[in-house]
């Protein structure tokens, strides 16, 4: 006799993660309507909260992918900025990596580490030259705006 597939079985892990990643990305796009402009960036605390939950639930790579999809859709729809690309995925990635090692839900609190310490310098390197902020000024400005966005 063939046993019925159990919910969340090993054969459905990829499908489940893909569906959840899509839901997290869609939620990030939907909640991007509620943003606070700070400097050249739109402070979006909802996206960072979503990244924190996604990192714990999905793991590092799926969470970073969902954040990247959300950033792309938000930018395409005009509800996000270029700064979402270096900020959002790294916050989700760090949460996922911390969760892999800690196996504790408190790993979600590490989201600002990826966003501020990895995303802001990368954003300053890649995006700030186009905005004429200068290298040193760009890092400082981005770290402050990314921190305002990602620290609840």
pLDDT for the residue numbered 1? 44
CA–CA distances in Å: residue 121 to residues 67, 85, 152: 18, 12, 21
How far apart CA 49 and CA 142 sit, in angstroms, is 19
Percentages helix, strand, coil for the chain, rounded to the nearest 5?
75, 5, 20
pLDDT for the residue numbered 42? 64
Please provide residue 42's backbone torsions phi and psi, each rounded to the nearest 5 degrees: -105, 115
Lowest mean per-residue pLDDT among 3-17, 78-92, 131-145:
3-17
Averaged pLDDT of the chain: 83
Query: For the domain bounded by 16-150, which CATH number is listed?
Result: 1.10.1760.20
Average pLDDT over residues 110-115: 90
| Boundaries of every domain in the chain | 16-150
Radius of gyration of the chain, Cα coordinates, nearest whole angstrom = 16
Largest Cα–Cα distance in the chain? 69
Are residues 128 and 134 in contact, defined by beta-carbon separation less than 8 angstroms? Answer: yes
């Amino acid at each position: 006799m063939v046993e019925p597939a159990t919910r969340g079985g090993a054969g459905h892990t990829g499908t489940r993660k893909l569906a959840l990643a899509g839901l997290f990305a869609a939620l990030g796009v939907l909640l991007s309507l509620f943003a606070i402009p700070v400097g050249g960036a739109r402070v979006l605390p909802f996206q960072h909260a979503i990244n924190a939950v996604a990192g714990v639930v999905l793991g590092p790579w799926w969470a970073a992918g969902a954040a990247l999809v959300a950033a792309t859709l938000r930018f395409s729809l005009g509800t996000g900025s270029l700064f979402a690309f270096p900020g959002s995925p790294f916050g989700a990635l760090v949460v996922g990596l911390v969760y892999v090692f800690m196996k504790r839900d408190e790993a979600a609190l590490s989201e600002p580490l990826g966003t501020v310490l990895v995303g802001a310098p990368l954003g300053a390197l890649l995006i700030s030259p186009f905005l004429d902020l200068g290298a040193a000024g760009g890092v400082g400005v981005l770290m402050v705006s990314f921190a305002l966005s990602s620290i609840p």
